[in-house]
Amino acid sequence: MKAIITATRLAHDLTGDNPPVLLDVRWQLSLAKAAGAPAFDGRAEYGAGHIPGAVFVDLDRELASPPGKNGRHPLPDTAGFGAVMRRAGVTTGRPVVVYDGGQGWAAARAWWLLRWTGHPDVRVLDGGLPAWEGPLSTDVPTPAEGDFVPAPGAVGLLDADGAAALARSGVLLDARAGERYRGDVEPIDRVGGHIPGAVSAPTTENVAADGRFLPAEELRTRFKSLGASEDAEVGVYCGSGVSGAHEVLALAVAGIAAALYAGSWSEWSADPSRPVAVGPDPQ
């Protein structure tokens, strides 16, 4: 199964005998609310125009549990996630294509959750909505109820202890910006820095200027230079388990399996007993 799909291929598949279920997961990590400005409204963006037939899914409310001790975007309740997916028309026998506004992080979060809970055929629209050249619609579809029942565990998931162990025994990639990894700045979480032993691997370096993924061979070369390959045990974390899912997706494009530490730095750094490394050195 391929992890991404081009807009041209999606347009073709939508006219086929078994068209994919479309999920619109537009979302942005924004500090605007803290500054008193309106936060990004993905539902409003969806209402203004989306790929025909797409169903909106809210990342903060439907692809995550409320923030708490397990981070800013803890995994959603499995039963609740399944109900959301079924309302969106997700079935086991139909492919699913997920897209967002172009950054790819939110779409990757939905992709990873569906893969983790056992859906056999999920892809992300490479480049997101900006890559789509077809018409947009403001009609809100009412799909037939799907039959998807989540069965967690189909792909790798790490907790804090597992991430710490993997940083010593395998390869743990930190998908955040380099300045947050080094601890130069930390605009969101309690303290800056990284999990000791983790390697800096900003997910923004996996895509071209248009938001599309680099070719698979280029991604393989990049990850190999960081110690990640098909033969290594690889894990990824980020700030709260969103951009980290995008890096897991990039690794999948490169043919490398990786586990996600869903709690990520927002969970790790909230516990004062956990060690924090700073600077460019992994240790």
pLDDT in tens, 239-248: 999 999 999 9
Q: How confident is the model at residue 282 (pLDDT cuts 50, 70, 90)?
A: very high
Contact assessment for residue 28 and residue 40, using Cβ atoms and an 8 Å cutoff = yes
State the pTM of this model: 0.95
Contact assessment for residue 95 and residue 119, using Cβ atoms and an 8 Å cutoff = no
**Percentage of the residues of the chain whose pLDDT score is greater than 90:** 93
So what's the pLDDT on residue 159?
98
Averaged over 249-267, what is the pLDDT? 97
Contact assessment for residue 211 and residue 103, using Cβ atoms and an 8 Å cutoff = yes
For residue 40, count CB atoms less than 10 angstroms from its CB and return exposed for 0-12, middle for 13-18, buried for 19 or more.
middle
So what's the pLDDT on residue 34?
53
Rounded Cα distance between 129 and 126, Å, is: 9
Annotated catalytic sites, by residue? 238
Structure confidence by residue, pLDDT tens digits, 22-52: 999 999 876 555 566 677 899 999 999 999 9
Averaged over 168-182, what is the pLDDT? 97
So what's the pLDDT on residue 177?
96
Structure confidence by residue, pLDDT tens digits, 54-77: 999 999 999 999 999 999 999 999
Averaged over 151-170, what is the pLDDT? 97
So what's the pLDDT on residue 37?
66
Rounded Cα distance between 139 and 52, Å, is: 8
So what's the pLDDT on residue 105?
96
Q: Tell me: pLDDT of 84 over 80.
A: yes
245 SS3 class? helix
Residues in a beta bridge with 56: 24
Contact assessment for residue 244 and residue 264, using Cβ atoms and an 8 Å cutoff = yes
